[in-house]
Amino acid sequence: MEQPRVLVVVDDLFFLTKIQTTLKHLGLTALVLTQRTAIQAYVKAAMTPVLVVVDLTLRTDDAVAVISAIRATDSGAPVAILAFGAHVAVETQQQALQAGADRVVAKSTFSNHLPELIQQFVAQE
């Protein structure tokens, strides 16, 4: 049986490694995509992940636009989106929530509580 996939929209190697390791320990598979077009194509292909994790400080694309694109593309039951970013970027956090993120947390919270955060969303599936 194939492991459930988590779509990881992160280009920071520190966080990417931490996320991939945590997902592996939780029995989940990470699919890393950082370009909006590739993410939309994946979601359109009915390859619905159990969770999408988005870094709001994404350098390869506009993270808020990525969240909006996922919401515009997902069909049926919407996929859960967990976003994380700098605690001082309150406006960006609000924009992410308005774009469709289910939860936005500071990088420190994300880093310190990653397994619990992922399990909260995956348990809802």
- Report DSSP letters for 71-110, one per residue: HHH--SSPPPEEEEE-TT-HHHHHHHHHHT-SEEEEHHHH
Sheet with strand 5-9: strands edge to edge: 29-32, 5-9, 51-55, 81-85, 103-106
Residue 125 has pLDDT above 60, yes or no: no
Mean pLDDT of all residues in the chain?
90
pTM, to two decimals: 0.92
> Which of 38, 57, 36 lies closest to 47 in space, CA to CA?
38
The 3-state DSSP composition of the chain as helix, strand, coil percent (nearest 5) reads 45, 20, 35
Complete domains list, the chain, with CATH:
5-122 (3.40.50.2300)
Structure confidence by residue, pLDDT tens digits, 56-97 = 999 999 999 999 999 888 766 678 999 999 988 889 999 999
| Residue-level pLDDT at 40 | 84
C-alpha span between 103 and 88 (Å, rounded) = 16
Contact assessment for residue 54 and residue 27, using Cβ atoms and an 8 Å cutoff: no
